[in-house]
């Protein structure tokens, strides 16, 4: 059973609508769908939505992407949550835009936010929802690319991806991860 949904991103207006903040966008959409209450937890270094009707918290770590593990570890300790009871949502350069993949475990795949979580909680075994953002044309542009907003053409697709990701997470909450894999793993076009 998932007890914490953790959307990864960077805090602040500067990063609000960037590719790297798709995890925050999905977290906000799920919190809105479930009508959760928002509060800031000092020790957990996160904005937390408490969803009392669902025995769920939704967290947006405020530690910046590359230090996400600090917040995740604190959330797990504060709420007495195990690694298989979290679901982390984040952007993935290795998936094309519109591709959504639910996994029960795995390596970081080079994602620094996920690697930070692995380093802090000492395991790769935690569920995650990967949301494709594609790669820039040149490798040296990766940092600028993930920190840039979606183009006009991409915005409609991203709205569909966020809607599907929200439905996926609601499905996971109702039926569990294993029974939700086929429903969640999609290429939204």
CA separation for the pair 119, 142 (Å, rounded): 23
Residue 137 confidence (pLDDT): 84
Give the CATH number of the domain where residue 103 resides: 3.40.50.1470
How many domains, in total, are found in the chain? Answer: 1
Is 66 known as a binding-site position?
yes
Q: Is there a catalytic annotation at residue 20?
A: yes
Q: Mention every residue, 6+ apart, whose C-beta is less than 8 A from residue 171.
A: 180, 183, 184
| Radius of gyration of the chain, Cα coordinates, nearest whole angstrom | 15
Residue 34 confidence (pLDDT): 96
> What secondary structure, in 3-state letters, does 135-159 show?
CCCCHHHHHHHHCCECCHHHHHHHH
CA separation for the pair 49, 113 (Å, rounded): 20
Q: Are 7 and 89 in contact (CB under 8 A)?
A: yes
pLDDT in tens, 122-179: 999 999 999 999 999 887 789 999 999 999 989 999 999 999 999 999 999 999 999 9
Q: Domain residues for 157?
A: 4-187
Which residue among the candidates 20, 47, 111, 164 is catalytic per the annotation?
20
């Amino acid at each position: 059973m998932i007890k914490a949904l953790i959307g990864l991103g960077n805090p602040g207006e500067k990063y609000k609508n960037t590719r790297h903040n798709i995890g925050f966008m999905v977290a906000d959409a799920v919190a809105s769908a479930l009508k959760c209450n928002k509060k800031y937890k000092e020790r957990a270094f996160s904005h937390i939505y408490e969803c009392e009707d669902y025995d769920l918290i939704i967290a947006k770590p405020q530690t910046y992407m590359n230090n996400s593990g600090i917040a995740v570890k604190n959330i797990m300790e504060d709420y007495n949550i195990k690694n298989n009871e979290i679901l982390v949502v984040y952007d993935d350069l290795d998936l094309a835009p519109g591709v959504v993949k639910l996994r029960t475990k795995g390596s970081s795949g080079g994602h620094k936010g996920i690697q930070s979580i692995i380093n802090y909680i000492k395991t790769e075994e935690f569920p995650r929802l990967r949301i494709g953002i594609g790669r820039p044309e040149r490798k040296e542009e990766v940092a600028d690319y993930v920190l840039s907003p979606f183009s006009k053409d991409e915005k409609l697709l991203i709205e569909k991806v966020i809607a599907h990701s929200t439905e996926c997470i609601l499905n996971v909450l109702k039926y569990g991860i294993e029974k939700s894999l086929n429903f969640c793993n999609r290429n939204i076009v």
